[in-house]
Structure 1
């Protein structure tokens, strides 16, 4: 099963990096080194959904994320960038997932940072409803001032060893796999080792059991290729909004929402790169379960 997971991870990374390309079953199966028939079955077994459903979901979730945080992008630019042929096809597919048109989502969701929740209505059909994400924006900004130091920084390139986690509940097991690998390589424990979580999906648009997070360790040198479930990942050098603070795990959601609000308030735009967290301490070693974290958003 580990070899299968390794190949499926390779396929998932290819899909997510080529959402505007030809993502036919044959092409992706070739990337994963399977026959199309076997790849389709194994992909569903490991991810819990068909390849086509995964691709469409990723396209729609990415479009929702762009609608929420990249206001300067026209809707046409977004759907063409993600490989939709026209507005009608895009709008129909978007409504299927979120119950509203893309333009309505853009006008309603990002301003107050509401989260879409899927609930069952009385007739058994899913209704897309907006529930308040975190209190009032004003209260959130006050919380931010008390708990986070926010700066715009240039960060250097970071070479990482990474293990993919599909679903929030699998993050800790992924870190366990990473640490066991690092111990064998004599890379852990060592002084000032940094663990980093890279978010390849947004919780605003992706269900917690589907969100993809890479559990990573900062390395001195680039990892050569893939070693079992551990693969190389690079965070490119660039400009970032960095929110630093000593917080509990329960505060993470507020921290991220605060940073995106701060980004919009200060008229920054997010780059096509992934946000991440850098951990400077371990919450398990703190009496109140707190940890020192940098929350980082890539910006232009």
Structure 2
């Protein structure tokens, strides 16, 4: 836990002190010693906003400081130094945070603005800025211990019937199509049927409504060919981090981030294949909307 606190705080400090430098996801993830895929999810959960939103907010806050304290400095010099490409982009973004144009803010900034910011930046006060993030990490890891059983397992080959979904909102519809197909084949309901969601895109680079998620059903035998929109898919055997627990749909993001933290903490790296979820029960049949799920990350 202490190691994750150090990594996240190191990344935040780098951002805060280098707002005019390269602040790409890849660079910040490197500073925090995470892979970009893991870091963007961890950052959002712990900080409460995306990396990009955080960077923009910090740039605008710094510009407000300069507008209030360095009144003789040209506004253009301020926004160019902070990476804004034009006055219109800077002004529009500034208005979102402060409700007025930069020039109006500068004319009305109180004399106490400078003193307040300086007080917050004293050496004895710096840790206060990071305490909410440390609490978030502690809270997340404690939640993980209480709600997930995490193991490294060797999983066998899995033969699946799959229907592709574009975006989270379409997953339920894809499962309905899959179940209708399985009912006609007399594969559903039959025994302990397992449903599996396989993630073929990263939310880091693909818009939520374009992310490819395969709604799948575990089969006893391989599906030989595509039947309509239902096609065969195989999960190769290998080593996986498996986090198992009874959770609600709202807990899923927290579960995935917990597993990434656990993986990094123990020095594992993710294989270049797809993470997936195995569902052992239906949340619609539980009074509290909970379901038993295995969250699986392929590792070396």
Superposition TM-score, scaled by structure 1 size: 0.60
Q: State the secondary structure of the residue aligned to 1:162.
A: strand
Q: 1:107 aligned to 2:31? A: yes
The 8 Å contact of residues 274 and 297 in structure 1, kept in 2 or not, is answered as: yes
For 1:4-43, list aligned pairs within 5 A: none
Judged with a 3 Å threshold, the aligned counterparts in structure 2 of structure 1 residues 123 and 176 are, in CA distance, closer, same or farther, namely farther
Compute the RMSD of aligned alpha carbons: 2.7
Q: Deviations over 1:111-141 (max 9, x none)?
A: 982144666965568xxxxxx9997222111
Q: Deviations over 1:218-257 (max 9, x none)?
A: 0011111211111110000011000000000000000000
The 8 Å contact of residues 25 and 40 in structure 2, kept in 1 or not, is answered as: no
Residue of structure 1 equivalent to 2:199:
199
**In structure 2, how many angstroms separate the alpha carbons of the residues matched to 1:124 and 1:213?**
36
Q: Deviations over 1:43-95 (max 9, x none)?
A: xxxxxxxxxxxxxxxxxxxxxxxxxxxxxxxxxxxxxxxxxxxxxxxxxxxxx
**In structure 1, how many angstroms separate the alpha carbons of the residues matched to 2:25 and 2:252?**
29
Residue of structure 2 equivalent to 1:242:
242
The 8 Å contact of residues 134 and 140 in structure 1, kept in 2 or not, is answered as: no
Superposition TM-score, scaled by structure 2 size: 0.60
User: In the TM superposition, what is the alpha-carbon distance from 1:205 to its structure 2 partner?
Assistant: 4.0
Residue of structure 1 equivalent to 2:209:
209
Residue of structure 2 equivalent to 1:266:
266
Residue of structure 2 equivalent to 1:168:
168
The 8 Å contact of residues 134 and 254 in structure 1, kept in 2 or not, is answered as: no
User: In the TM superposition, what is the alpha-carbon distance from 1:207 to its structure 2 partner?
Assistant: 2.7
**In structure 1, how many angstroms separate the alpha carbons of the residues matched to 2:161 and 2:224?**
10
Residue of structure 2 equivalent to 1:51:
none
Residue of structure 2 equivalent to 1:48:
none
Residue of structure 2 equivalent to 1:257:
257
For 1:101-180, list aligned pairs within 5 A: 102-107=26-31, 110=39, 113-115=42-44, 116=50, 123=91, 136-180=136-180
Gaps of 5+ in 1: 1-97, 126-131
Q: State the secondary structure of the residue aligned to 1:243.
A: strand
Judged with a 3 Å threshold, the aligned counterparts in structure 2 of structure 1 residues 185 and 282 are, in CA distance, closer, same or farther, namely same
Gaps of 5+ in 2: 1-21, 45-49, 57-88, 94-131
